[in-house]
Structure 1
Amino acid sequence: MESCDVFFKGAYAFFYGNPPAILGTLLLSMVFAGALFANALAPYPPEKRVARPHQAPSADHIMGTTRSGRDVYSQVLHGARKTLSVSIIAGLIAMTLAVTVGVSAGYFGGKIDERLNFLTNVFLVFPQLPLLIVLAAFLGQVGSVVITILLGVTSWPWGARVIRAQTMAIRNKEFILSSEAMGESKTRIILVEILPNLVSIVFGGFLGAVIYAMGSEAGLGFLGLGDATEVSWGSMLYWAQTSSALYTGAWWEMMVPALALAITGGALALINMSIDQVSNPKLRTGPHIKLWKKLKKAVDKRRGLM
């Protein structure tokens, strides 16, 4: 019960006086709800022809139809599943690598830091999106699994740099030195002492990786380097471009997936901004900082620090 009380107080402190968090969470919840309940919300199968080509938005098809007569509303709901799954899994892969490399380099130092830092710099030298385009073009039309792996293994260096710097900043703090003096294992020090102090940075980096992966997936799909038979926001843009939707006046075929990408990316950016407002003391102002001080006092008391 005490843990739940701290959690709800933390959630209240996070959202109160933090408009970006409220708006971002609301928008993202709507997107996730649409993806999760796509089968119930979509009136037609996304790959089935159900009307005349390029039919304008109407009561029967609220977002119009594509050149092949498919319902755009049904496609954008089902496409959210593919795009979000690729983006989130790629973000998890990227941040797992970033945390592993960054914390190891920052904590162990010496030869390990030199080698891992060299590896990070090698990946940073190559521009990520052109590298993805070259790899995807070399492999031919690739499915969502390959795109997810490509995005995950090429998106970690920036996060690793930030995590390494932060780990080095707390490496010689008193609580780390005390843990080492008491003979605690390095694994426990990393998991229990260091990682909890990096939560906001890791989560913020994860959101940034998801935004990047979502844009890259859409870009690869738009260029025709993804699997055009899979329904995603990227493949929707590809088919809209192939059918010259804007030139023929069927603006909805291009605008709907583009707006879906913009709204989802904007929601993630707002949440990322709200995390900065909470985790960075310089950004806490007004009633928000008072609530956060109360929460910190409760957590410290529970840990026996006061």
Structure 2
Amino acid sequence: MTGTQADIRHPRPSQLPASGAVRAESAKPPPFNAFRRFVRGFLARPSGVAGVAILFAFAVLALVAPAFIGPAQLDVTKVSGPLLAPPSAHYLLGTDESGRSVLALAIWGARASLSVGVIATALTVILGSTIGLLAGHYQGWLGAVLMHVTDWFIALPSLPLAISLSAVLGQGSASITIAIAVTSWTSTARLVRAQTLAVEARPFVERARALGASNSQIVVRQVLPNVMPLILVSSTLTVASAILSEATLTFLGLGDPTSVSWGSMLDSAFSRGAVTAEAWWYLLTPGVAILIVVLGFTLTGRAVEHVLNPRMVK
């Protein structure tokens, strides 16, 4: 018997994988392995890491803001700073028309802007994903009605509709959140419907249907896990547009006048004479904050999309 034949029939110990490595690899469940591959692929994209770092920094600032910003620093009746003062050692980003620190207002405004953007995105994704899944799975009269409703909302101009809803519901963060969700779910619904149709054409869904799986079981166990990556990417990118919509509606005076947000800062700067007084720091700070946060969500969403869809051009 030659050496090659002996190696084929009886592999050498060095050719066999270590038993401990086999046990460790087999002990890890498939979801853990998929998550580890996702993290490894995400960390390999510097733009995505930069986006997460930006979002993490703003989230930490928003969470710890009450620890170093008190109500007296935001109350126009209690502050005593100079009016529309330029940046200095005491006021790093200057002051507003009431003598409040623009830096404190920007940090505090992140709480309202981020919360409205995240909550509106959650409502948008839930509504759009539900309609998309139902329209893709039930392709009869129910799917046709849902898609006609979706097309009707797409035909309506989103900004005037959001303004009308906010005006009808009244000023406040809740009305803006509802208005954003009602006018932003259509793109998610169409994407999820298209992906649902593609998934249900695969053999494993036909096999599950042949084995007697109900409609709810097919949607929850077969379709939803395969559509979830698309929903994750869509939600990440939707937050950016939701924050822009919140700033737009608040800038138009539809937000809570007693709440501080980046949109309300822009509204106050334009309506209280910051432009004529050449107080560029009052206008630039909230605008740059919105730009950076939107950039962070966009970079994160694009990185997630590249990792979950390897066929995209890198």
Shorter-normalised TM range: 0.7 to 0.9
Q: How far 1:200 moved relative to its partner? A: 2.0
The SS at the match of 1:45 is helix
Structure 2 partner of 1:46: 74
2:61 to 34, 40, 58: 34
Q: How far 1:55 moved relative to its partner? A: 1.4
Amino acid of the structure 2 residue aligned with 1:168 = L
Residue 50 of structure 2 is aligned to residue 20 of structure 1 = no
Q: How far 1:14 moved relative to its partner? A: 2.9
Structure 2 partner of 1:83: 113
Alpha-carbon contact 2:62-2:108 (below 8 Å) kept = yes
Structure 2 partner of 1:303: none
Structure 1 partner of 2:85: 55
Q: How far 1:41 moved relative to its partner? A: 4.2
Distance 2:37 2:56 in 1: 19
The SS at the match of 1:69 is coil
Amino acid of the structure 2 residue aligned with 1:221 = T
Report percent identity of matched pairs. 35
Q: How far 1:271 moved relative to its partner? A: 0.8
Closer/same/farther in 2, CA of residues 188 and 233 from structure 1, 3 Å limit: same
Q: Normalization by structure 2: what TM-score? A: 0.85
Structure 2 partner of 1:288: none
The SS at the match of 2:89 is coil
Q: How far 1:199 moved relative to its partner? A: 1.8
Q: How far 1:7 moved relative to its partner? A: 6.5
Alpha-carbon contact 1:278-1:284 (below 8 Å) kept = no
Structure 2: segments with no counterpart, 5+ residues: 1-26
Residues 98-153 of structure 1 deviation map (CA, whole Å, 9 limit, x = unaligned): 1110011101111111100011011111011121123334455x100111111112
Alpha-carbon contact 2:87-2:94 (below 8 Å) kept = yes
Amino acid of the structure 2 residue aligned with 1:15 = F
The SS at the match of 1:272 is helix
Q: How far 1:195 moved relative to its partner? A: 1.1
Structure 2 partner of 1:242: 271
> How many residues in Structure 1 have an aligned counterpart in Structure 2?
284
Distance 1:108 1:139 in 2: 33
Alpha-carbon contact 1:50-1:71 (below 8 Å) kept = no
Alpha-carbon contact 1:176-1:189 (below 8 Å) kept = yes
Q: Normalization by structure 1: what TM-score? A: 0.87
Alpha-carbon contact 2:269-2:283 (below 8 Å) kept = yes
Structure 1 partner of 2:24: none
Segments of 4+ moved more than 4 angstroms = none
Point out the more displaced range, 5-14 or 250-259: 5-14
The SS at the match of 1:163 is helix
Closer/same/farther in 2, CA of residues 41 and 24 from structure 1, 3 Å limit: farther
Distance 1:185 1:47 in 2: 58
Residues 52-84 of structure 1 deviation map (CA, whole Å, 9 limit, x = unaligned): 111111222211110011111111111111111
Residue 299 of structure 2 is aligned to residue 258 of structure 1 = no
1:2 to 25, 28, 49: 28
Closer/same/farther in 2, CA of residues 129 and 74 from structure 1, 3 Å limit: same
